[in-house]
Amino acid sequence: MVQDLLPVELSTNADGATIAVLTLDQPGRPVVVIDESLLQRLDATLDSLPDDLGGFVLASSAPRAFVAGADLKAIMAMDDAGLHEYLEFGARVFQKIADLKCPTAAAIHSVALGGGLELAMHCDGLIGLIDPEAKPFLIGLPEAGLKICPGWGGTNLLPARIDAKDAIVMTANGRAMKSDQADELGLFDVTVSDAVELIPAARAWVGSQEQPTRDGAPMRCIGRDDPNELKAALNDARNELESQPHTDAVCDAVEVGIGSGWKDALQRERDHLVRLRHTEPAQEAINAFFNKGK
């Protein structure tokens, strides 16, 4: 069966370069949630893109969120082998964005949590909507609030975009930011104050960037930063954090990223996530989350 593709709009900028805007959508849902179907559609759509793109923008059609996160119920229903396979598939799809030969950016207009922010951070740049007249939206990695940890690279991606110690502590505590706070911390490369300006700003940003050299890891991950500074930030974060299985897992994945690189850090995250979801604190927190949703 031919996989349904996500919407892609191609346009040409002033320099004659072709810019692709790929829009995440899930008709019938109020927000976009990462599940196997969306990953399959994203995978097929990325494979269909022209080889000579001058820029790529990742957007979302859901008014209430860029991506609200991953489908936690589906994740909890998988056995360990199935979850490992699912996480590895998602990582391969996300990596296709990080491997694109052109500059890339995510256009974030609203909530971006968990796997949604991890997906966005596989892009080179983050373009954010900061509307002073609107209520700030949440953005961050809340997995540790459920006593688990990120599974698609968040532990190694967020510390490369904001202060490393702050990022590690927030990730280990599962604390999301409000969008205005994220802007103050430097998460966004460009911001706009009006939604109609967001996609044009993202197009302009990718069009202004030099063609990147790809090496199998996202452009912005901790493996590209000074390891001594990162080790100091990690040590400071550990001193501030209470040692718990989920906080220790986040710090361990950061440490692996510093010492062994992106792919090993991804594997360590997956191992921790699969393990942690079986622990009593995670089971209690996740059940409470589901019951709250009801």
Residue 48 lies in a domain: yes
Residue 268 lies in a domain: yes
Catalytic residue, from 9, 85, 143, 210: name it.
143
- Which residue in the block uniquely carries the two structure tokens 């940003």? 205
Within 13 Å and on the Cβ side, how many CA atoms surround 227?
8
Residue 2 lies in a domain: no
Within 13 Å and on the Cβ side, how many CA atoms surround 32?
31
Catalytic residue, from 85, 118, 197, 240: name it.
118
Residue 1 lies in a domain: no
pTM of the model: 0.97
The DSSP result for 152-171, as a single string, is SSHHHHGGGTS-HHHHHHHH
Model pLDDT, residue 21? 98
Q: Is 195 in contact with 109 (CB distance < 8 Å)?
A: yes
Q: List, in order, residues 6 or more apart from 204 with CB less than 8 Å away.
A: 13
Reading the chain (294 residues) residue by residue, the pLDDT tens digits are 446 999 999 999 888 999 999 999 998 888 999 999 999 999 999 999 999 999 999 999 999 999 999 999 999 999 999 999 999 999 999 999 999 999 999 999 999 999 999 999 999 999 999 999 999 999 999 999 999 999 999 999 999 999 999 999 999 999 999 999 999 999 999 999 999 999 999 999 999 999 999 999 999 999 999 999 999 999 999 999 999 999 999 999 999 999 999 999 999 999 999 999 999 999 999 999 999 866
Please say whether the dihedral angle defined by the alpha carbons of residues 198, 200, 205 and 210, taken in this order, is positive or negative. Answer: positive
Residue 191 lies in a domain: yes
The sheet that has 104-108: what strands, in order across it?
A: 8-12, 18-24, 55-60, 104-108, 125-129, 190-192
269 belongs to the catalytic site: no
Q: How many domains does the chain have?
A: 1
Within 13 Å and on the Cβ side, how many CA atoms surround 120?
33
Residue 183 lies in a domain: yes
Q: 275 is in which domain, residue-wise?
A: 8-293
Residue 162 lies in a domain: yes
The DSSP result for 221-254, as a single string, is SGGGS-HHHHHHHHHHHHHHS---HHHHHHHHHH
Model pLDDT, residue 294? 60
Residue 3 lies in a domain: no
199: CATH:
3.90.226.10
- Which residue in the block uniquely carries the two structure tokens 């969306």? 38
The beta strands (E) that lie in 53-150 are given as 55-60, 65-67, 69-70, 104-108, 111-113, 125-129, 138-140
284 belongs to the catalytic site: no
Model pLDDT, residue 1? 43
